Structure 1
Amino acid sequence: MLINLFLGIYGLAMCFILFYSFAQANLLWHFFKFKDNKIPLASMADKGLPFVTIQLPVFNEKYVVKRLIHAIAQMQYPAEKLEIQLLDDSTDETANLIKECLKAYPEVDFKYIHRENRVGFKAGALKEGLEKAKGELIAIFDADFIPDPDFLLKTVGHFTEENVGMVQSRWGHLNEDYSLFTRLQAFALDAHFMVEQMGRNSQKAFINFNGTGGIWRKSCILDAGNWQADTLTEDLDLSYRAQQRGWEFVYRPDVVSPAELPPVMSAIKSQQFRWTKGGAECAMKHLGHVLTGKFPMKVKIHAVAHLLNSTIFIAILLVSLSSIPVWWGFYQGLIPLEYFKFAAFFLFGFVIIAAVYFFANLNLKNFTIKSFFRFLWELPVFLAVSMGLSVHNAQAVWEGLTGKRSPFVRTPKYNLTDKEQNWISNTYNQLKIPPTAYLEAILALVFNAMVVFSLITGTYEMIAFHGMLAVGFTLVSITSFKSYLIKA
């Protein structure tokens, strides 16, 4: 019977989500056990400080590049042991802005490197810069970051241990309260940087360099095969290659690197597409090597959950679509009600995921009453919007798993920290509406209709789930069309 096929799809997808939640529960347990690995601040007068190269990959960043240069120029480190590479692939006025801005800092050793050909995109720029870098340590910051002036002094001490290959800092958020969507992104990222990174690092499972806000040992990069552009997440790719070679990574949650969050849905989708597809590409590239390698079982299990975490969007989409015929089966009596009661077991997975976000976010807010009540509305809205993004992200994951190639599309930067500022005039806004936006609108109508049908027929078993899907797809589709269609 066809209804059994849909029930099977629904059950298998829910099992995958449950497996993911169990992995998250383990990370949460180790998050509580995480030992603070910070070391004393290095001294500017220390004669033994290593030479450091800071790399700043830039591509058409006219709104934020001056802010970046100013922040990097304030870096506290002996001038004779520091060089700063501006790796500029820009094709607009950003290049002239950089050249003009650098004139204000003649005392800082800025090296301006402009590429006419963006071969390899960000990975290519980093690789070319690495060939010219004098530093034995390489710090990397994206254009929208404002690093802590003491970042280097807080991190270089770890490299006295010869097996340490990379130190990653925690991202902060410059515009967290700009809009609902910047708040929800901060909500998600805080869980990654608190529970996931701390939970993995505390048990020596593989963690990832997050593409920025970290510092590498140059020899580690070269030993791992240098930067490669065969995935959209060159940072995750290099991280897994390095750790498979035996290099250890250190995570520093107490060192914060503030950055800008995309304030508009088109930019959010651009970033999400790159992250989710790149994660799937890395899974195809590395998972077999990790599973067959001589690593502890806990490392292998967390590598599976880590590399396949973006696949959860395919599971969410399958659960969402199959829930419609499953609901119909319950309504028509084709599926025994006892099945639905058994399915309640899967709610345990959502309880675990809720706990991860609860402790990650409230820990950063010192468990205040205000943060608790904020969490009560943020969690359901975040889950709803994540469901609403499942079509877009599932496409990205599927392309990554099947090997379909696509160019590196960088996330537009806006330099918006004040709610009164507007994103509409940004010349980097994407105006081409992707096909998935129309499908999101259709699903918004479908799940709103499902909520109405449930109310009319008195079948409330799935009304909460369908209600969240209705809210998620409605929010995502409306804000998508708004961000693609509104022009200055």
Structure 2
Amino acid sequence: MMQFLATLMELVFYAVIACFAVYVLLELRMVRVSSQAQRRKLAEIRLWPQEEEEFLPRVGVFLPVCNESGVIGRLIHAACSLRYPREKLEIAVLDDSTDMTTDLAKSLVEEYAARGVNIRYLKRRSRRCSKAGNLSYGAAQIDAEFLAIFDADFVPPPDFLLKTIPCFKDPSLGFLQTGIDYENRNASFLTQFQAMEMGHQQFVTVGLSEEGNMASLSGSSCVWRRACMEALGGWKAATATEDVDIGYKAQLGDWKYAYLKDVVSMSILPETVSAFRVQRERWGRGLMHSAFRHGGSMFRKKMPLLRRLHAMSMMFSSLLLASIYGLFLLSLPLTLFMQFEGAGFVLAALAFFALVAVWGFANIVGSPMWEDFARGRGVLRTLPHVYAYVSLFLPMALYYFVGGIRAARGVFEEFNRTPKCGDEACLERPKIDAWLHRGEMFSLAYAVLTTVTGVMTGNVVLLPISVTACLGFGMVLHWGRRDRRLRGEAK
């Protein structure tokens, strides 16, 4: 029986490594395509010629907010500063708030309306279906051919609509996504990690859009053609990531998307570990649920093999990340029950570590760290930062692992708002935050035990996994303790 379990665990180990290898190779390919596209200046979608820019349809700008008192002012100001014919533009503040945000939003809407801005304040009777329900309510109230959406922490550039709307002269273009940068990217290593990770995803999206491959796009700083949105049935609250869900449906329904990397809105990253972990559990839960909801449609859709592989890689990357945590959990029993005498397992483990290293360095391409590297920082000075960056993916793998378990149990609609701009210290913590914190403590203890076991038994082949986990979980627990101390001082 013990031999059977050991063989089963070994097979699972091989399977995860094989999937990760395919993922890394496809990602490296997209890094190359994106790099070539940027060098050739093909990543930017060509705007229509000046003489044809009279294409100025009616546009509705949606600002969905929920208890966003710290950022509501700058959001409304930015939306009211958008340059577009006044008679063709309507701004709607979609307020789901239960705190002082409501009074602030009403006051600001009245102020800008008095200045001649076409802006409305909309508040529904119930908060049913969270953000998806809020957006659907707004769409029923606003008569516009195109809908631009900005979450509460976003600040679009004034020329956002002038640069994006002309692209919709293509009648098959269903929706459009733009670039995102972060005001507080250098606030801490945690925000630097998030900026680098999401910056890399945006960089890869350049290549995906160049080749017409499926992409996972954000639900903010984007524009939707109403006809496309209505044809897809609108936003659904059946998943925690309604933006990814409708994006998959659009792409699988033969609507085209566009990605404008150089039209950049500013946003704010979570600065506390608590906000980060709760956000990522929701993302993991929603991404995996959306992948399985639409995976069948993806496999039924005719597409070339390479394009299908990219679609599978993109849609199921969240499941792969969760499986990395499963790989971490396997490291202790494998260390205890296997002697690693065969060359096959050792070579597989070494190949996995090599792939992680290559993937880690690939992630800095297109990021601020890449600029430092290109200026002569060198491999030796960059390596510690890349290693710390990679180590934080193990806590994130835990959050996705928990999100996957909750999705399997049918927890789809739970939506925990990500606090922003200083309200992280006073917001009531959802229950899942405490469970994730306990998971971090368990994982650190497990990593330490695995490391000690490997050293004592001499089975050190998997030691890099447990040592890296010690660093990753140690960092988030340290930051979490610091955040709790700062919250206590703030009260």
Residue identity in the other structure for 2:212: K
TM-score by length of 2: 0.90
Would you say 1:305 and 2:304 are equivalent positions?
no
1:18 to 21, 29, 32: 21
Q: How far off its partner does 1:311 sit?
A: 0.7
TM-score by length of 1: 0.90
Aligned amino acid, residue 17 of structure 1: F
The residue that corresponds to 2:324 in the other structure is: 316
The alpha carbon displacement at 1:298 in A equals: 3.0
- Provide the residue aligned with 1:418 in structure 2: none
The correspondence of residues 262-341 of structure 1 with structure 2, limited to 5 A, is: 262-329=270-337, 333=339, 335-336=341-342, 339-341=345-347
CA distance in 2, matches of 1:371, 1:51: 51
The letter for the 1-side match of 2:23 is: Y
**C-alpha distance 233-44 of structure 1, shift in aligned 2 (>3 A):** farther
Q: 1:305: Cα distance to partner?
A: 1.3
- Are 1:430 and 2:429 matched, yes or no? yes
- 8 Å CA contact 1:54–1:85 kept in 2: the answer is yes
Which has the higher mean CA deviation after the structures are superposed, 141-150 or 291-300?
A: 291-300
Separation in structure 1 between the aligned mates of residue 48 and residue 117 of structure 2, nearest angstrom = 22
- How far is 1:441 from its partner? 0.9
Q: Which residue is equivalent to 1:169?
A: 178
User: Distance between the aligned counterparts of 1:103 and 1:198, measured in 2?
Assistant: 40
Distance change in 2, residues 1:374/1:174 (3 Å): farther
Structure 1 position 358, deviation (Å): 2.5
- The correspondence for 2:69, drawn from 62, 69, 76, is 62
State the Cα distance separating 1:306 from its structure 2 match.
1.4
Residues in 1 aligned to 2:302 and 2:401: alpha-carbon distance in whole angstroms: 32
Deviations 1:303-358 (A, max 9, x none): 2111111112322112111112222345xx36435531343223343244224313
Q: Quickly say closer, same or farther: Cα 1:43–1:135, change in 2 above 3 A.
A: farther
CA distance, structure 1, for counterparts of residue 178 and residue 151 of structure 2:
13
3-state secondary structure, aligned to 1:389: helix
Rate the CA distance shift 1:264–1:41 in 2: closer, same or farther, 3 A.
farther
3-state SS in 1 of match to 2:120:
strand
SS at match of 1:104: helix
Displacement, 1:290?
Answer: 1.2
Report Cα offsets for 1:32-56 as digits up to 9, x if no partner: 3432333348879954312111100
Where 1:62 maps in the other structure, the secondary structure is coil
Deviation of the 1:461 alpha carbon: 3.0
Partner of 2:469: 469
Amino acid at match of 2:25: F
Are 2:196 and 2:364, in contact at CA under 8 Å, matched by a contact in 1? no
Does 2:147 correspond to 1:141?
A: no
Deviates more, 1:440-449 or 1:201-210: 440-449
Superposed, 1:47-446 pairs within 5 Å as 47-105=54-112, 106=114, 107-195=116-204, 197-329=205-337, 333=339, 335-336=341-342, 339-361=345-367, 365=371, 367-369=374-376, 375-414=382-421, 426-430=425-429, 432=431, 433-446=433-446
Q: Secondary structure of the residue that 1:474 maps to in structure 2?
A: helix
Match of 1:419 in 2: none
Identity percentage of aligned residues? 27
Change in 2 beyond 3 A, CA 1:252/1:90 = same
Q: Which 10-residue stretch deviates more, 217-226 or 45-54? A: 45-54
Which moves more between the two structures, 287-296 or 443-452? 443-452
8 Å contact from structure 1 (residues 76, 152) kept in 2:
yes
Cα-to-partner distance string for 1:352-386 (whole Å, 9 max, x where unaligned): 42243132315973833359777433321121111
User: How far off is 1:397 after superposition?
Assistant: 1.7
Partner of 1:420: none
Question: Deviation string for 1:21-72 (max 9, x for gaps)?
Answer: 1221232232134323333488799543121111000000011101111111
1:181/1:72 CA distance change after superposition, 3 Å? same
SS at match of 2:366: helix
Amino acid of the structure 2 residue aligned with 1:298: L
Cα gap change, 1:282 to 1:297, in 2 (>3 Å): same
Instruction: Please give the per-residue CA displacement for 1:214-267, whole angstroms capped at 9, x wherever unaligned.
Output: 111111111122111111111111111112222110101111111000000111
User: Which residue matches 1:3?
Assistant: 6
- CA–CA distance in structure 2, aligned partners of residues 161 and 14 of structure 1: 42
Structure 1 distance, partners of 2:153, 2:347, is: 48
User: Structure 1 200/277 Cα, relative in aligned 2: closer, same or farther at 3 Å?
Assistant: same
RMSD between superposed Cα atoms in Å: 2.6
| CA distance in 1 between partners of 2:285 and 2:483 (Å) | 22
Contact 1:438 1:477 in 2 (8 A): no
Distance change (3 Å), C-alpha of 1:364 and 1:453: closer
Equivalent-residue separation in structure 2 for 1:364 and 1:164 (angstroms): 33
Q: Is the 8 A contact 2:89 2:118 kept in 1?
A: yes
Q: Aligned partners of 2:360 and 2:227: how far apart in 1?
A: 40
Contact 1:266/1:429, CA 8 A, preserved across alignment: no
1: CA distance between counterparts of 2:284 and 2:70? 26
- More divergent stretch after superposition (50-59 vs 371-380): 371-380
Contact 1:389 1:473 survives alignment (8 Å): no
In 1, Cα distance between the equivalents of 2:291 and 2:121?
Answer: 35
- Bigger mean CA deviation after superposition, 293-302 or 372-381: 372-381
Helix, strand or coil at the partner of 1:250: strand
SS in 1 for 2:83: coil
Q: Deviations over 1:387-429 (max 9, x none)?
A: 02322220102322453334111111125xxxxxxx66x4225
Supply the AA of the counterpart residue of 1:356. Answer: A
Instruction: Work out the CA distance in 2 between the residues paired with 1:276 and 1:126.
Output: 22
Q: Which runs of 5+ in 1 are unaligned?
A: 416-422
Letter in 1 for 2:70: Y
- Which residues of structure 2 form unaligned runs of 5+? none
Secondary structure of the 1:57 match is: strand
- Alpha-carbon deviation of 1:152? 0.7
**Does the Cα contact within 8 Å between 2:188 and 2:271 map onto a contact in 1?**
yes
Stretch deviating more after TM superposition (438-447 or 259-268): 438-447
Moved more, 218-227 or 377-386: 377-386
Aligned residue pair count: 477
Q: CA deviation at 1:127?
A: 0.9
Shift in CA distance, 295/225, structure 1 to aligned 2, threshold 3 Å: farther
Deviations 1:272-310 (A, max 9, x none): 112111111111110101101223333322221111111
